[in-house]
């Protein structure tokens, strides 16, 4: 059975709820989703850079501020 939703008519809260429901449904079978090899390589490189002191972690709120400034 196919269920079609007119997204443009939903409120913001309804859209977020639908998005969360979709994400939850997709996450149930996350073992079936295979990550591409390039993603694994990027994770290895990031881990190496972090372990070597070439990268540092920052607070999520600070990261969002920095990204917003960068893309304004």
Cα angle 13-19-22, degrees, rounded to a multiple of 5:
145
d(CA 2, CA 58): 43
The pLDDT of residue 29 is: 75
pLDDT truncated to tens, each residue of the chain (72 aa)? 566 778 888 999 999 999 999 999 888 876 777 889 999 999 999 999 999 999 999 999 999 999 999 998
Q: How many CB atoms lie within 10 A of CB 29?
A: 8
User: How many structural domains comprise the chain?
Assistant: 1
Domain contains 33: no
- What DSSP line would sit under 10-65, residue for residue? S-HHHHHHHHHHHHHHHHHTGGGSPPPHHHHHHHHHHHHHHHTTSS----HHHHHH
The pLDDT of residue 32 is: 76
The pLDDT of residue 14 is: 93
Domain contains 53: yes
Whole domain around residue 58: which residue ranges? 39-72
């Amino acid at each position: 059975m196919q269920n079609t939703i007119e997204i443009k008519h939903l409120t913001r809260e309804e859209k977020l709820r639908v998005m969360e429901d979709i994400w939850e449904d997709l996450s149930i079978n996350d073992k079936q989703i295979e990550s591409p090899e390039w993603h694994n390589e990027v994770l290895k490189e990031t881990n190496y850079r972090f372990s070597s002191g070439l990268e540092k972690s920052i607070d999520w709120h600070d990261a969002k501020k920095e990204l917003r400034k960068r893309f304004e």
